Amino acid sequence: MSPFRARPARPQDAEAFTAVIAAVAEEAGYLLTEAPVDQAAFTERVRGMLEPGCPDALWVLEQDERSVGGLGLHPTNAAGVATLGMALLPEARGQGGGGVLLRAALDHAEPAGLHKVELEVFPGNGPAIALYAAHGFQVEGLRRAHYLRRDGTRRDVLLMARLLGG
């Protein structure tokens, strides 16, 4: 049995959700979000995503009643397509927590009217790429020098996606 549990995020999870993002951003190799994270502003943004009627969907990953990860599905400009973002604390990686979060989001996606879920991942993040591939995501392309970082460098990202349904 997995030591992890994924559940839909609630408004009272906003600070813990933000803390996970801020901690992973400090590692500088996993997220598009860069450190330092303005945690107060980010927490308010997360609370907004948890308001009734907001099209975003968020989940928290818990281990021993502690938040160790989070995932968000966010609508895109294309009808029926959402983009996925996920962050896991180091102690939750490589133990199945990412899969627990992905399954929760994918179980939600098709009944919510989505036909495709996409994501961006840094090409050097082999464990994440393998996790996404194991859950049916395929590489759709490479966005070369797509993101300008605070230090002036530009980062490539792989675009991966999974088609849902038939």
The whole domain housing 16 covers 4-163
Rounded mean pLDDT of 66-77? Answer: 97
Cβ neighbours for 70, distance < 8 A, ≥ 6 positions apart: 9, 17, 20, 21, 58, 59, 60, 61, 86, 87, 101
Give the CATH number for residue 134. 3.40.630.30
- The 10s digit of each residue's pLDDT in 41-50 is 999 999 999 9
d(CA 71, CA 82) in angstroms, rounded, equals 12
Beta bridge partners of 121: 158
How many folded domains does the chain comprise?
Answer: 1
Amino acid at 162: R
Residue 2 — pLDDT band, cuts 50, 70, 90?
Answer: confident
| pTM higher than 0.85 | yes
For residue 128, give the 3-state DSSP assignment: helix
- The 10s digit of each residue's pLDDT in 107-131 is 999 999 999 999 999 999 999 999 9
The yes-or-no verdict on residue 79 having pLDDT over 90 is yes
